[in-house]
Structure formats: C-alpha cells, structure tokens
Homo-oligomer: A and B are copies of this chain.
Amino acid sequence: MQLGMVGLGRMGANLVRRLIRDGHECVVYDVNADAIKALEAEGATGARTLAEFAEALRPPRAAWIMVPAGLTGETVAKVAELFTPGDIIIDGGNSYYRDDIHRAKELAGRGLHYVDVGTSGGVFGLERGFCLMIGGETDVVAGLEPLFETIAPGVGDVPRTPGRTGEPTQPEKGYLHCGPAGAGHFVKMVHNGIEYGMMAAFAEGLAILDKANIGHEIAEHNAETTPLANPEYYQYDLDTAAISEVWRRGSVVASWLLDLTATALVEDPELTEFSGRVSDSGEGRWTVLAAVDEGVPAHVLTASLYERFSSRGEGLFADKLLSAMRKQFGGHAEQHKS
C-alpha cells in the first residue's frame, strides 16, 4: 500500500527502505533535499514540498511523521493543513503520550485520524525489523496493518512462547495495537524506562566486577574512606569482556543489551572512548512521572534515571552541601583526590 514519510533521518529512511523492499509505495519528504534524492534512487517518490507531498498521496492519505521530538508538533500541524477528512497522520517519533491525546482530539475535530507508533530497534532495525507499539482508533490501525507487518520483525526465529497456539497474533509478529490515542507511546515510554533499569543493572554489576581487585591497592589511611577490612577477598583481576561474553550463552541475564555490552567491551575493554556523561531522553523521565502519578513504587527505574543525572554532575550542589555539613559538625576538611 502507499505511505508518505516526512523526515528521512536514519530511522525514517530505514523505515522507507523496509517498505520499498517489501513492495509498498513510498512518497518521501525532508527539509534536506539530498535525503530525498537518496531514497528516490532506491525507488521512493520524492516530494520537494509538503504540498507536493500531499498531492502525491492518494486519499485517504497516510503520512508517517518521523522528525525530532521538538519538531513533531509543528510538522503534524503543517501536514494536517494540507490533508482532507479521512486522511491519517502517524507519529512514529518519541512524543510524550499526552501530546498524542491532545493532537488526536484536535485532528478528530477536523475529520483527520491520528495514530501514534512507538518504534524500537535503533540502528539494527533495518535488518532486524522494528518493534512497533501502536495507539489509535481500532479500524484506522487495522487498515494500516500491511505497513506494520512489513516494518515489524515478523515471527522470525524467536521461539514461540509456550501456551500460545494457532495463527501468530499481532505481538508475535512484532507489532501491537495497544489502545486508543497515546497508548503506543505510553507503552514505548515504559519500554525505555525498563531499558534504563536493565542497562543500569549491567553497568553496576560489571562495575563491581571491575573493582574486584581493589584489595591489591595499598590502603591509604585517611578519613575519606574506611580502609577495606578484608583486602584478601578483593584480589580478582576479572576480564569483563570475557564475562559479558560467557553470559550470552545459557545464563539468566542473556539479552540483547548484554550482546551489545559484550561488543562494546571487545571493542574497547577500558572504555577509554567515553567520559561517562550519560544522556537521558524524555521517556525515562516520563516513566518516573507516571509511576508517581499512579502511586507505583519504581525504585529501580528511578534510580537508573538519577544515576544518569549524577553522571553529568547534577548532584554537585548536594555533594558540596554534604561536605559543608560534615565540616560544620565534625570539623572535617574535605578530602581531595590524591
């Protein structure tokens, strides 16, 4: 079937590639003319303006918006201007699900349909397929299934979950209509929250392994840290690259994130390339806000977010204040790194 794609960055372009390869027809637009040309060369129909884009699509039109989060709102608005009742706008970016709810309501007032798609897969999506979490009206989403089937990984070689029988259902093919407007991005948001927690679990655990040789160090007698009571128990020089590799087979923590960790540690065992400033995107934060609103304890997901804040020095004021209090009550001067 036909789909329009607005935004031909890495994600948008790869979605178009998967669609074209599978016989779908794509009309593509981007502010960058070169990005359009590149996909024209691969079989897409390029549009030089959004008006041309809307023109090239057959009603009822379907346009997938894949632009940076900060630009989604205005892009949806511009496309909506050019569309006519019955047309569909799909937001495949990382929008806050509350914005979906607002946009869907506004567009509905103009006879337009809105579908939100949380898309996971990263740089591997072109080959692996993208995991799709979808929100919107039931019949509208149903009409788009041929596209979702193509973009998603499909059943693939993932072993079937025991207890599931019959024809493969949506989620077994890698996409899922989760609920009304916003449901797709809500589920994607929590997905990323979980991702933060899993990443932190690996990072903390491997850090404990990395320092298992701390007993080698000659204990400094200073007030900053208690000398290690039993240095004889911390004499291991462990190979974190090999350990993350061995866990890939047969262990309980086997996972795609572990695969990536093993790759990263083979490439650069000392991680010298990195300074340790860890970014966070909106989803991790929104997940915490949802946990607080719902009254669900989420110690792990929240701690993993805060660790990222700390990695960027955001705990500095608090840390200084702790040193200041220690000086006040104990006369402790702050220890400096030797």
Minimum CB–CB distance for A231 against chain B, Å: 10
Q: How large is the interface on A (under 10, 10 to 19, 20 to 34, 35 or more residues)?
A: 35 or more
Say yes or no for A60: interface residue by CB 8 A criterion: no
Once the chains bind, are B250 and A329 in contact (CB under 8 Å)? no
Say yes or no for A303: interface residue by CB 8 A criterion: yes
Q: Which of A67-95 contact B (CB under 8 A)?
A: 68-70
Q: Known A193-B205, A233-B98, A263-B161; judge A319-B326 contact (CB<8 A).
A: no
Sample of 10 further A-B pairs with CB below 8 A, known A101-B233, A310-B310: A130-B250, A164-B245, A176-B243, A190-B209, A198-B201, A198-B255, A278-B322, A297-B310, A300-B307, A308-B322
Q: Known A280-B226, A307-B299; judge A201-B201 contact (CB<8 A).
A: yes
Chain B residues within 8 Å of A236, by CB: 178-180, 182-183, 186
Once the chains bind, are B336 and A314 in contact (CB under 8 Å)? no
Q: How many copies does the complex hold?
A: 4
Once the chains bind, are B306 and A276 in contact (CB under 8 Å)? no
Complex interface bits, A171-215 against B, C-beta within 8 A gives 1, otherwise 0: 111111011101100110011111111111111111111111010
Task: Give me 16 A-to-B residue pairs in the complex whose CB atoms sit less than 8 angstroms apart, sorted by A's number.
Answer: A68-B221, A120-B247, A120-B250, A178-B243, A186-B209, A190-B205, A202-B321, A204-B299, A205-B301, A208-B296, A226-B281, A264-B321, A264-B325, A278-B326, A299-B302, A307-B310
Say yes or no for A37: interface residue by CB 8 A criterion: no
Chain B residues within 8 Å of A221, by CB: 68, 70
Say yes or no for A282: interface residue by CB 8 A criterion: yes
Partner-contacting stretch, out of A19-27, A42-50, A283-291: A283-291
